[in-house]
Structure 1
Amino acid sequence: MAPRTRAEALSRERIVEAAVELLDADGESGLTFRTLTERLTTGPGAIYWHVANKAELLDAATDSVVSNALAVETTGSPQDEIRTLALGLFDAIARHPWLSPQLAVQLSRSPWGSVTPRIFEDIGQRVSALGVPEATWFTATSALAHYIFGAAGQNAANVRVLDDVDRAEFLHAAANAWEELDSDEYPFMKSIAGQVREHDDREQFLTGVDLILTGITADAGPCGSSRP
């Protein structure tokens, strides 16, 4: 591979790319301007020329990953396109463990930044195409976005916890333990224990998206009908 030119090495895009690499490797604590200068073999002044501080760098890294996650080919019905976008975010959050807390920060502290409008626009356009009343667009889009962030974030947390554990064995042990619960106190838990053993996280996630879409489109008429 040819060496990067100085201009390429010091571009904002390369800085953000290196920041994402450091975040993926060591989380937020592993991203400092010192580690970044070492990764880029440059001085801190060159980095500060492009980004003012760590908070701006985290925002830029989050925006970059989210943009890539949403840059998927969406074809078909609005429901199918929403599923595709949701799954893109789900997979991105699974690949980048630091992303879920950063999205929470973006939503709560700076909803006017680039990330929240980008996500809401991409999902909201499809929600509006479902034929639901305009007065419900914000609520419906919020419900989808918060489910995506919550479910994907919990899945990412599970993946981290089970990083050194065989998933199948863990689920089998959990299912066995639930089956041993007292029938009078935990009838529901015992009834679903068998479903835990073989469930697919991505399919389970999409089932949740479908449940929300069914609720959103319940009164929308033919244009908002969900898949069979």
Structure 2
Amino acid sequence: MATRTRRPERRQDPLSRERIVGAAVELLDTVGESGLTFRALAERLATGPGAIYWHVTGRTELLGAATDAVVATIADDDADATPQEAIRALALGVFDAIDAHPWVGTQLARGPWQSRTLRVFERIGRQLQALRVPDAAQFTAASALLNYILGVAGQNADNTEAAKPGIDRTEYLDAMAAAWEQLDPDEYAFTRTVADQLRRHDDRAEFLAGIDLILAGITGPGPGPRTAGSR
């Protein structure tokens, strides 16, 4: 009597694009962009690379989808918030997303006018319109805010990564501030005077303070972009 070949058990949780993207986000958070391979992803999903290619065409598409998934978690604008509050909340949402997923900052900066970055740009622009920023100044104002958000958030993530290997943040900043204090007083007079502020600063608070400075420049009197009623 012939021996019947046993069929493999059917997967209880069918492979889907959403599940693949979620596993990719987890893998990126663990090993970074260089570690995202279809082989590693297949092992995490307990499947074959071919099954993954059924849902995504390649690594570029997968990175984009993973970035979209993270950006989608940033809270929508609060209808009751002022435009300034909405911009601050959006900026902080991006900052926290990149802080939690450092690879996202690289993806957003790599394709500044791709759809995922444009979503952030669009939300900033709508709030600037609500502030009655003149039409001719809206692109410049929105670009300045977007570039600041991505630049500072990305730099913060890089600094966090650099300080990770067993180094406490307080100790890291204290050592850096101490090094600033030892700089040549003639060449680095300013840097020496703010060394203690570096030692005591809070990254998120400083980030939001920068947003407020930009908003003040956009909406306040001066040669730059202003609200329609400014003089």
Match of 1:148 in 2: 149
Q: For residues 193 and 217 of structure 1, do their structure 2 counterparts lie closer, same or farther at Cα, with a shift above 3 Å needed?
A: same
CA contact (8 A) 1:132 1:220 kept: yes
| Number of residue pairs aligned between Structure 1 and Structure 2 | 215
Asked which structure has the greater CA Rg, the reply is 2
Q: TM-score, normalising length from structure 2?
A: 0.86
Deviations along 1:80-123, whole A, 9 cap, x unmatched?
1100000010011111121111112221xxx2x42122111111
Residue 21 of structure 1: which of 19, 26, 31 is its match?
26
- List structure 1 segments (4+ residues) > 3 angstroms apart after TM superposition: 5-9, 70-75
Match of 1:53 in 2: 58
Match of 2:128 in 1: 127
1:4-153 maps to which residues of 2 (within 5 A)? 6=11, 8-71=13-76, 73=78, 75-107=80-112, 111=113, 113-153=114-154
1:146-185 maps to which residues of 2 (within 5 A)? 146-163=147-164, 164-185=166-187
Matched, 1:189 2:191: yes
SS in structure 1 at match of 2:128: helix
| Two-structure CA RMSD over aligned residues (Å) | 2.0
Letter in 2 for 1:210: D
* Identity percentage of aligned residues: 57
Q: TM-score, normalising length from structure 1?
A: 0.87
Structure 1: which 5+ runs fail to align?
none
CA contact (8 A) 1:19 1:57 kept: yes
Structure having the higher helix fraction is 1
Q: 2:12 & 2:55 partners in 1: Cα distance?
A: 12
Letter in 2 for 1:28: E
SS in structure 1 at match of 2:194: helix
Deviations along 1:177-221, whole A, 9 cap, x unmatched?
322333333221121112111100000000111111111112315
